[in-house]
Amino acid sequence: MKALQEVLEPTIIDIWSSLFSLEAVAEPTADLTATYVGCVHLAGVVSGTIVVQCDASLARLVAARMFDVAQDEASEDDIRDAIGEIANIAAGNLKAALSTRTTVSLPLVVHGSDFGTHLPNSRLVASRTFSCGNDRFSVSVYEHVPPSSG
């Protein structure tokens, strides 16, 4: 999974540029308060989870760009769909970069202000925080680790 860290940054920067015409700039990993979290699971030769996290203002901006509406017209469904689609596109691009037979799940999106996420039997293998204007988002990749049979 070492190659994943090398592929993650340019993949996300390209998605942000081509899909939203926005500049994503990688920055040192930092704590991020996210109100939207999108997850896509990978199963097969590579098993794990792609997690995209961002705050409400950036989520609304990318939804507006994705669905070609004004920011104040982007609905909650639009925002959740956009965050899920970003996770899905990131998973698909990372899967292609790994050139492995792996299936990708449908996206799962969580929205709120007081929640935690936990991926059992997983370990973080790649993560990057990005800035987009004054907002930040992060993309992390977790590898599934089978439970020990002890």
Is the pTM higher than 0.85? The answer reads yes
Q: Please give the pLDDT value at position 30.
A: 65
Q: Which residue has the higher pLDDT, 39 or 148?
A: 39
Mean pLDDT within 46-70: 93
Q: Which residue has the higher pLDDT, 39 or 29?
A: 39
- Structural domains of the chain, ranges and CATH numbers in brackets: 2-17+33-144 (3.40.1550.10)
Backbone angles phi, psi at 54, to 5 degrees: -155, 165
Percent of the chain residues topping a pLDDT of 90:
49
At 101-147, the pLDDT tens digits run 888 899 999 988 777 777 888 999 888 899 998 899 999 999 988 87
Record the tokens describing residue 56, joined without a space.
Answer: 């409400």
Compute how many other C-beta atoms are within 10 angstroms of the C-beta atom of residue 5: 13
